[in-house]
């Protein structure tokens, strides 16, 4: 593979690229080659404080800018992102490893939130009640919360930040984003395009870093709200510390998404759905299917027979090869962790039907590649079933009845997504009604809500009261104010009137 030059990255504060001053730098990898492709400054507490101060200073003018003017900047931003989408997708694929079409999809789903946010004048309209008492009127409106923070994961470098800041900005807040240190460049490119679109300096800022930067954001008295997307242990910490410091917090976390296959399901459709949703983006999606639950032995057998050749035939490689279906994992450490889970599954007694550990990728010998893996006869007590693996490792858990499948889902600690494949409307209706899961699919394996609905799981997949984007996003990034007015009739005597009537 071609030699990559190593870029030196920066923070983005007050409309400018800012060189890191902490003296600490991190490595950003190209996971397909295993090479470092960029050096990233890791912000100190003082650098984070500077970004927060800038966002705080920019707040009054931005909060009082008419919503339609704020929306017009987002319209311009959308155009600019589309003009630069190929460059952004290249960067995403280089740092993340996902295929180019997948990176473009990541960006497109994020842009849909921008499109939603451009409707903010309508979304911010309040309620008015006339004459709630004698000459008393009452109305409610929503105002920005203040300086908002986003802390984002590696797996969607564009979409997840875009779940947050377009709505926060449209609502009149200012923003400090701390993107994943593994895939930082996309956020820096987006920040620059916001400035080009006419966003006033200081309204949107990016600080790069790790725990030190996150802790500085979480404990600052000048931060009003924190949106987090990432793993459950970190999200639980963010939620607790953020709340202790008086912030509004939403933390969207880990997952173990089940797909139930009923005996009447269209098996070709099921297999296509599983291949895309379990192995697309190397299984590094919070809505990836990681557990398939065939109902009945015959269903399990048919499914297994069709799945095996498809998994063995997955085309694995670098994003630079357009024929590739699945890229590498994000880091060498994560590769070891996922391989470790495969070892654990074997030790626990599950049957490893397809073993992707020996995969060879020409030119990618140092890359973080793992082939698709399939376990059968996985039991609900096994760690490979209970824990989030976040890689291309799929478990088949065989059950004898629909009720058993629903019970499995409902007692699992995670509640992000679940799907059922069936031709039976009664069964599908019962499933959508019964499962304690935030996002449910019927013959749809990855039921990701669109921008004008809201995205969020249940149980330990989400801490906080609000899902993200859509109406829930507008609520999260605004505070309700209710005003009650009484205008006495005394002034009326002083007014001059046209004489009505005759």
Q: Which residues are catalytic?
A: 286
Compute the least distance from the CB of residue 468 to ligand NAD, in Å.
7
Q: What are the C-alpha distances in Å from 307 to residues 12, 217, 304, 325, 387?
A: 46, 46, 5, 16, 23
Which two structure tokens, joined as six digits, stand for 386?
A: 């209970």
Compute the least distance from the CB of residue 255 to ligand NAD, in Å.
5
Residues 6+ apart with CB under 8 A from 221: 245, 246
Compute the least distance from the CB of residue 15 to ligand NAD, in Å.
23
> Which one, 156 or 402, has the nearer CB to ligand NAD?
156
What is the DSSP secondary structure assignment for residue 338, as one 8-state letter?
Answer: H
Please name the residue ranges forming H helices in 313-419.
332-348, 383-386, 402-411
* Exposure on the CB side of residue 227, measured as CA atoms within 13 A: 31
Compute the least distance from the CB of residue 330 to ligand NAD, in Å.
7
Q: Is the CA virtual torsion 380, 383, 387, 388 positive or negative?
A: negative
Q: Residue 390: phi, psi to the nearest 5?
A: 60, 50
CA-angle at 397, arms to 334 and 285, nearest 5°: 35
Please name the residue ranges forming H helices in 355-436.
383-386, 402-411, 425-434
Which two structure tokens, joined as six digits, stand for 255?
A: 């997952």
| SS3 of residue 345 by DSSP | helix
> Which one, 182 or 304, has the nearer CB to ligand NAD?
182
Binding residues for ligand NAD, rule: CB under 6 A, are 151-156, 160, 178, 180-181, 210-211, 214, 229-231, 234, 252-255, 286, 388, 390, 416, 457, 461
CA-angle at 108, arms to 319 and 450, nearest 5°: 125
Compute the least distance from the CB of residue 462 to ligand NAD, in Å.
7
Q: Are 158 and 88 in contact (CB under 8 A)?
A: yes
Distance CA 292, CA 265 (A): 13
Compute the least distance from the CB of residue 275 to ligand NAD, in Å.
20
Widest CA span in the chain: 98
Compute the least distance from the CB of residue 39 to ligand NAD, in Å.
16
Q: What are the C-alpha distances in Å from 474 to residues 186, 223, 256, 444, 452?
A: 24, 18, 28, 27, 10
Compute the least distance from the CB of residue 190 to ligand NAD, in Å.
15
> Which one, 67 or 230, has the nearer CB to ligand NAD?
230
Q: Are 129 and 139 in contact (CB under 8 A)?
A: yes
The residue of the chain with the least Cβ separation from ligand NAD equals 230
Phi-psi group of 469: left, alpha or beta (phi > 0 → left; psi -120 to 50 → alpha; rest → beta): left
Which two structure tokens, joined as six digits, stand for 154?
A: 């590696």
Which two structure tokens, joined as six digits, stand for 88?
A: 């952004």
Distance CA 421, CA 320 (A): 34
């Amino acid at each position: 593979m071609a030699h990559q030059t190593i870029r030196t990255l920066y923070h983005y504060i007050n409309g400018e690229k800012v060189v890191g001053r902490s003296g600490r730098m991190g490595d950003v990898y190209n996971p397909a080659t295993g090479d470092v492709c960029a050096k990233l400054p890791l912000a100190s507490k003082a650098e984070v404080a500077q970004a927060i101060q800038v966002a705080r200073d920019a707040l009054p003018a931005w909060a009082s800018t008419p919503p339609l003017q704020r929306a017009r900047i987002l319209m311009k931003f959308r155009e600019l992102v589309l003009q630069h989408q190929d460059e952004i997708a290249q960067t995403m694929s280089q740092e993340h490893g996902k295929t180019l079409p997948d990176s473009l999809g990541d960006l497109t789903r994020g842009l849909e939130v921008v499109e939603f946010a451009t409707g903010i004048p309508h979304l911010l309209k309040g309620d008015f009640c006339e004459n709630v008492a004698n000459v008393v009127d009452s109305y409610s409106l929503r105002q920005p919360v203040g300086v908002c923070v986003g802390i984002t994961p590696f797996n969607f470098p564009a979409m997840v930040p875009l779940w947050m800041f377009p709505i926060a900005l449209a609502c009149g807040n200012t923003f400090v984003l701390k993107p994943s240190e593994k895939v930082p460049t996309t956020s820096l490119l987006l920040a620059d395009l916001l400035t080009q679109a006419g966003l006033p300096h200081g309204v949107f800022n990016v600080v790069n870093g790790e725990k030190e930067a996150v802790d500085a954001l979480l404990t600052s008295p000048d931060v009003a709200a924190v949106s987090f997307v990432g793993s459950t242990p970190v999200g639980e910490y963010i939620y607790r510390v953020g709340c202790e410091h008086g912030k509004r917090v939403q933390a969207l976390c880990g997952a173990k998404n089940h797909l139930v296959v009923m005996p009447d399901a269209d098996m070709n459709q099921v297999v296509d759905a599983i291949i895309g949703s379990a192995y697309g983006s190397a299984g590094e999606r919070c809505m990836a299917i990681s557990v398939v639950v065939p109902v009945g032995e015959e269903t399990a057998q048919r499914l297994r027979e069709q799945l095996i050749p498809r998994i063995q035939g997955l085309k694995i490689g670098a994003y630079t090869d357009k024929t590739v279906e699945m890229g590498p994992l994000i880091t060498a450490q994560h590769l070891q962790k996922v391989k470790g889970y495969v070892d654990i599954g074997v030790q626990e007694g599950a049957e490893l039907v397809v073993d992707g550990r020996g995969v060879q990728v020409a030119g990618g010998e140092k890359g973080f590649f793992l082939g698709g893996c399939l376990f059968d006869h996985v039991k609900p007590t096994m760690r490979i079933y209970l824990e989030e693996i976040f890689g291309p490792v799929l478990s088949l858990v065989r059950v004898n009845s629909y009720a058993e499948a629903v019970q499995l889902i409902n007692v699992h600690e995670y509640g992000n997504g679940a799907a059922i494949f069936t031709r039976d409307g009664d069964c599908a209706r019962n499933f959508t009604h019964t499962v304690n899961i935030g996002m449910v699919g019927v013959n749809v394996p990855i039921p990701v809500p669109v921008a004008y609905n809201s995205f969020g799981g249940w149980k330990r997949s989400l801490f906080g009261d609000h899902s993200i984007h859509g109406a829930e996003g507008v609520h999260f990034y605004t505070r309700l104010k209710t005003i009650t007015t009484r205008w006495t009739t005394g002034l009326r005597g002083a007014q001059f009137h046209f004489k009505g009537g005759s």
